[in-house]
């Protein structure tokens, strides 16, 4: 996910995207625990995406 894509969205859209991404991240963590995770690199990308989304929300909230 690119920062450019996040800048054009509203806070509500970003919060919904954050929630969906965190749910997916939780699901992948459970799969990793059971040993059925097929793409371990996806965990890292989702964690970084959550951080980007939270940063974009914070930037919009400050302005």
What is the tens place of the pLDDT at every residue in 12-25? 999 999 999 999 99
CATH 1.10.357 fits 3-62, yes or no: no
Every domain of the chain and the residues it spans: 3-62
- Which residues contact residue 16 at a Cβ distance below 8 angstroms, ignoring those fewer than 6 apart? none
Q: What is the pTM of this model?
A: 0.86
Listing DSSP states for 5-44 in one string gives: HHHTS-HHHHHHHHHHHHHHHHHHHHHHHHT--S-THHHH
Tell me which H or E stretch contains 63.
Answer: none
Residue 54 has pLDDT above 90, yes or no: yes
């Amino acid at each position: 996910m690119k920062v450019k894509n996040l800048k054009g969205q509203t806070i509500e859209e970003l919060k919904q995207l954050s929630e969906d991404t965190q749910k997916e991240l939780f699901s992948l963590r459970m799969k990793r625990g059971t040993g059925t995770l097929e793409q371990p690199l996806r965990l890292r990308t989702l964690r970084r995406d959550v951080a980007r989304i939270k940063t974009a929300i914070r930037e919009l909230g400050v302005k």
